């Protein structure tokens, strides 16, 4: 079993229930991962994913090895048949097979480069590990998805569930750097598995991949989208059509306390890290309605559920 996308979740409600059970007794399966090793390979920085996934593995009694390819690993080649006379020192074929001998599960973080859309959509790094690793692979955020985050988001929303069918809004917000669409994509896919009134709001031209958003409602008027919302999930992403570009940095899209008054006393969510007073105003992030710290805590139980399922599956 691999965990690469939200599509790997066979029943979201069941997984959320199981994760909440783990949260109540996180050390219950401390023996399950004995003598098993999780290898965590980072091609990009991380705080939450690195520590929560490591914590999850430790809760299961696993050993953990972490490697940063940004400054420690050999530069890898992913092209089949490449003549390796340039910068890359090692081919993914050897690297993935070698790491598979040391680890029982390989977790990989490799963001979108935001230069070549086709290359990013092909998930070159993740696909390379999936092809050549001989052990299960977990996606710790690829080019197009962040399924561990989406699972943690679903757990957090269940903990704050409303008595009525909730209105959930995914709102774009400005950011000084061009960011990938991965978090937003996985949140959309996860929301499509939920019984909710789901709305995506962003400036015109900032549409996510239509193959992911499918029939999800898009509302270009952020204020209108916020009306009566129970959850506001904010995230920046760069332009998908004018790929990887920042074509809008309108500060009117920043989530403020005034905008939150339009909602049904909504909970504020963000995957973190977040740029204060650019993406969201201090007053919202520091309010009682902000559940971003709980979201980050639930990353551990999302990861622990995924690792537990893989271990129970025979690895
Ligand atoms: N939300 C998230 O993935 O955080 P990190 O990038 O710090 O891991």
ipTM higher than 0.90?
A: yes
Cis peptide bond upstream of 273, omega within 30: yes
Q: What is the pLDDT of residues 160-193, one digit of tens each?
A: 999 999 999 999 999 999 999 999 999 999 999 9
Q: What is the pLDDT of residues 223-244, one digit of tens each?
A: 999 999 999 999 999 999 999 9
- Residue 294 · residue 285 · CB < 8 Å: no
* Mean pLDDT score, 284-310: 98
* Closest CA to ligand 1's atom 3: 49
* Closest CA to ligand 1's atom 4: 48
* Closest CA to ligand 1's atom 7: 47
Q: How far is the CA of 163 from the centre of ligand 1 (A)?
A: 30
- Residue 105 · residue 133 · CB < 8 Å: no
Q: How far is the CA of 4 from the centre of ligand 1 (A)?
A: 16
CA distances (Å), origin 256, targets 101, 167, 251, 284, 296: 50, 19, 10, 6, 21
Confidence band (pLDDT; 50, 70, 90) for 315?
low
Which atom, in ligand 1's list, is nearest to the CA of 109? 8
Pocket of ligand 1 contains residue 46 by CB under 6 Å: yes
**Is this prediction's pTM over 0.90?**
yes
Q: List binding-site positions for N(2)-succinyl-L-ornithine.
A: 141, 175, 235, 275
Q: Which two tokens stand for residue 293?
A: 């710290």
Q: Which domains does the chain have, with CATH numbers?
A: 6-146+299-314 (3.40.50.1370), 161-290 (3.40.50.1370)
CA distances (Å), origin 207, targets 58, 183, 185, 213, 218: 39, 14, 11, 9, 8
Q: Which residues contact 17 (CB under 8 A, 6 or more apart)?
A: none
**How far apart are the C-alpha atoms of 8 and 250, rounded to whole Å?**
36
Q: What is the pLDDT of residues 118-156, one digit of tens each?
A: 999 999 999 999 999 999 999 999 999 999 999 999 999
Q: How far is the CA of 164 from the centre of ligand 1 (A)?
A: 31
Q: What is the pLDDT of residues 197-206, one digit of tens each?
A: 999 999 999 9
**Residue among 41, 44, 49, 177 to mutate when testing ligand 1 (max atoms within 8 A of CB):** 49
Confidence band (pLDDT; 50, 70, 90) for 314?
confident
Distance separating the N- and C-terminal Cα atoms of the chain: 9
Q: How far is the CA of 268 from the centre of ligand 1 (A)?
A: 17
- CA dihedral for 145, 148, 154, 156, sign (positive or negative): negative
Confidence band (pLDDT; 50, 70, 90) for 304?
very high
Least confident of 73-77, 234-238, 257-261, 283-287: 73-77
> How high is the pLDDT of residue 136?
98
- CA dihedral for 116, 279, 41, 59, sign (positive or negative): negative
**How far apart are the C-alpha atoms of 248 and 245, rounded to whole Å?**
9
- Residue 121 · residue 56 · CB < 8 Å: no
> How high is the pLDDT of residue 73?
87
């Amino acid at each position: 079993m691999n965990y690469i996308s939200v599509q790997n979740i066979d029943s979201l409600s069941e997984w959320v229930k199981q994760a909440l059970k783990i949260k109540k007794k996180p050390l219950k399966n401390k023996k399950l991962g004995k003598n098993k090793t999780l290898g965590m390979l980072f091609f990009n920085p991380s705080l939450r994913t690195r520590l929560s996934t490591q914590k999850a593995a430790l809760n299961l009694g696993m050993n953990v090895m972490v490697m940063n390819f940004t400054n420690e690993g050999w530069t890898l080649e992913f092209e089949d048949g490449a003549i390796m006379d340039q910068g890359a020192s090692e081919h993914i074929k050897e690297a993935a097979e070698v790491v598979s001998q040391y680890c029982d599960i390989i977790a990989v973080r490799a963001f979108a480069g935001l230069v070549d859309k086709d290359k990013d959509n092909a998930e070159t790094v993740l696909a390379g590990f999936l092809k050549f690793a001989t052990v299960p692979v977990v996606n710790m955020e690829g080019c197009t998805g962040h399924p561990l985050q989406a699972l943690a988001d679903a757990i957090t929303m269940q903990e704050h569930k409303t008595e009525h069918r909730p209105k959930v809004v995914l709102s774009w917000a400005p950011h000084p750097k061009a960011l990938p669409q991965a978090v937003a994509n996985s949140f959309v896919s996860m929301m499509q598995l939920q019984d909710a009134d789901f709305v995506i709001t962003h400036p015109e031209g900032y549409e996510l991949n239509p193959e992911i958003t499918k029939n999800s409602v898009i509302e270009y008027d952020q204020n209108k989208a916020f009306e009566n919302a129970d959850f506001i999930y904010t995230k920046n992403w760069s332009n998908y059509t004018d790929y990887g570009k920042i074509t809008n940095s309108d500060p009117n899209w920043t989530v403020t306390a005034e905008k939150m008054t339009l909602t049904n006393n909504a909970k504020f969510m963000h995957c973190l890290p977040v740029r204060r007073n650019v993406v969201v105003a201090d007053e919202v992030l520091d309010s009682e309605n902000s559940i971003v710290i709980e979201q980050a805590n639930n990353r551990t139980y999302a990861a622990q559920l995924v690792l537990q399922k893989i271990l129970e599956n025979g690895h």
